[in-house]
Structure 1
Amino acid sequence: MNNDYQLPENLVSILNEKKSKSPEKFTELVREGGYVPPHIDLLIDAISALSMGKNILLKGPTGAGKTKFAETLSYLFQQPMFSVNCSVDLDAESLLGFKTLTYEEEKQMIDFIPGPVINAMKHGTFLYIDEVNMAKPETLPLINGVLDYRRTITNPFTNEIVTAKDSFNVIAAINEGYIGTVPLNEALKNRFVVIEVPYIEGELLKNLIQSNTKLKDETTIDLFVKLSGDLIEAVYQGKLSEDAASIRALLDACDLSNLIPPRRAIQRSIVDKLDEDREREFIKNLAETLFS
């Protein structure tokens, strides 16, 4: 287990300043990475866990920014990141790599093309496993040894024993309760430190819209922030599914509203993605009220 990860000097100094003074400089650096969390302690805790060689599991609703969170951590640590996108079709080749025919001086040979897990281990970089609970339960145990103190795997395609470099780290993300997902088994879950990632709201969301969309009209931005807050509240009350309050979908609606009316932008980006008529009508009524 890696216990002496060397953080970049600028990150060390800003972390120390955060502890002793104020979070302004830290927030500024984080914003350069693309994700500013609702509570800066989320990022401090994630950085602390990764710096001790622990795996972290980002847990939260769809569109809350988990992937952007992982990319920001990669940026802060100055570490490249290999990614795995989980699905029911995920298999050993998708994780570890595959064999293929190649030619060397007109001689046919079998070569192994490493996958994201092997690449991240050998290069000592971050490995990001997205929607980890979409994978079949029998697939992920293949990398249990990668995720615990051993940091080792025997490549079934080459019989090579691969041990990760010290700077190797694993970040995974999970959306719970969605169609196609399965509960993580305890053996896998126990290999992670869990970081809850809530929705971005209020002033942070306003800043995100201003910096990540083409929408510049402040009045319209404020209305979209209000819309998002109402959608999130409806999710908490059980009136809407989490998909309806996706921040990613909201940003799409903000972009579209530069060229088409906001209500139509909301229709295309949010409403038409939902299956239940009750939810669709709820959001349409909310949009009509706000953007009348």
Structure 2
Amino acid sequence: MNYNLPDNISNILESNNRETNENLSDLIRQGGYVPPNMDLLIDAISALSMGKNILLKGPTGSGKTKFAETLSNLFNQPMYSVNCSVDLDAESLLGFKTIGYENEKQVIEFIPGPVTNAMKNGTFLYIDEVNMAKPETLPLINGVLDYRRTVTNPFTNEIITAKDDFNVIAAINEGYIGTVPLNEALKNRFIVIDVPYIEGDLLKDLIQTNTNLTDEKTIDLFVKLSSDLISAVYQGKLSEDAASIRALLDACDLSTLIPPERAVLRSIVDKLDEEREKEFVKNLANTLF
């Protein structure tokens, strides 16, 4: 399958460096995902345009869901979502039967789930935290994820074949409590895109366009805080939760009404479990602000 690419995507794929920067600025102004480098965006677009599934792999709060939303917007595609958990079952994926009424008579009707809806409508499907699902659940849709693009609905016995333009984006946080390693059969059905943290000028732009914080000096301090947190994560001093960009943006918003140190406390520190990590982040915030 090959998409008839919208002009905005064709422009990104064919752009030179100057046009690339302009397209990035447009994404920032629209509140979309801002990739640390254009290769991430180009590679994801290229894979999707060829009908391949992509797996976004990266730390929590690095923008994987925002990345998926941006891709669906670029392709002008609605996106159905599945949020995986240990409770995920066939009904959560494919739909369920319920009692309805037709001409005042009770009838059994089938309510489609996100997988069924995305396949029948030819839209994007987003599977979040795919490694939170029980290992026996996701094989139900193995046929959806490979060249067959089909599934047999166990509730209706209907064989569903996906319409053109159907595609799948999944996201994974590795090493979290409650997650399980993806089996090779599932992993091999995806092109893997490693999504790193957003840093530096891109993070500054993101804060300016996605939060209420306008004071440039304070914004620069939050960018420095984020850099220090990310470095500490890479050094094994902090868990990935501490460097969540989502949490940092919350702190930036709060800092317009309360002192930045307290904003960091409420948005980042109090989410951590270990006292050692809490003290580490509090000391960083106190030093900067």
Q: Does the 8 A contact of 2:79 with 2:118 survive in 1? A: yes
1:148-227 equivalences under 5 Å are 148-227=146-225
Q: Does the 8 A contact of 2:120 with 2:163 survive in 1? A: yes
Residue 59 of structure 2 is aligned with which of 42, 58, 61? 61
Residue 244 of structure 2 corresponds to residue 250 of structure 1: no
Partner residue in 1 for 2:21: 24
Partner residue in 2 for 1:100: 98
Residue 143 of structure 2 is aligned with which of 139, 145, 158? 145
1:10-21 equivalences under 5 Å are 10-18=8-16
Partner residue in 2 for 1:50: 48
Residue 71 of structure 2 is aligned with which of 54, 73, 76? 73
Q: TM-score, normalised by structure 1?
A: 0.97
Change in Cα spacing, 1:250 to 1:172, as seen in structure 2 (3 Å) is same
In the TM superposition, what whole-angstrom CA distance separates every residue of 1:80-126 from its partner, at most 9, and x where no partner exists?
Answer: 00000000110100000000000111111000000000000000000
Give the superposition deviation at 1:23: 1.2
Separation in 2 of the partners of 1:92 and 1:10?
37
RMSD between superposed Cα atoms in Å: 1.1
Give the superposition deviation at 1:33: 5.6
Describe the SS at the equivalent of 1:251: helix
Give the superposition deviation at 1:9: 2.4
5+ long unaligned stretches in structure 1? none
Separation in 2 of the partners of 1:14 and 1:248?
26
Segments of 4+ moved more than 4 angstroms = none
In the TM superposition, what whole-angstrom CA distance separates every residue of 1:38-66 from its partner, at most 9, and x where no partner exists?
Answer: 01110000000000000000000000000
Separation in 1 of the partners of 2:120 and 2:177?
34
Describe the SS at the equivalent of 1:23: helix
Residue 132 of structure 2 corresponds to residue 134 of structure 1: yes
Describe the SS at the equivalent of 1:170: strand
5+ long unaligned stretches in structure 2? none
Partner residue in 2 for 1:282: 280
Separation in 2 of the partners of 1:221 and 1:151?
46
- Calculate percent identity across the aligned residue pairs: 80
Describe the SS at the equivalent of 2:15: helix
Partner residue in 2 for 1:39: 37
Separation in 1 of the partners of 2:71 and 2:31?
8
Aligned residues: 288
Separation in 1 of the partners of 2:23 and 2:42?
10
Separation in 1 of the partners of 2:203 and 2:57?
19
Give the superposition deviation at 1:73: 0.2
Give the superposition deviation at 1:177: 0.2
Separation in 2 of the partners of 1:251 and 1:101?
44
Give the superposition deviation at 1:270: 0.3
Separation in 2 of the partners of 1:111 and 1:62?
39
Q: Does the 8 A contact of 2:120 with 2:160 survive in 1? A: yes
Give the superposition deviation at 1:133: 0.3
Give the superposition deviation at 1:17: 2.2
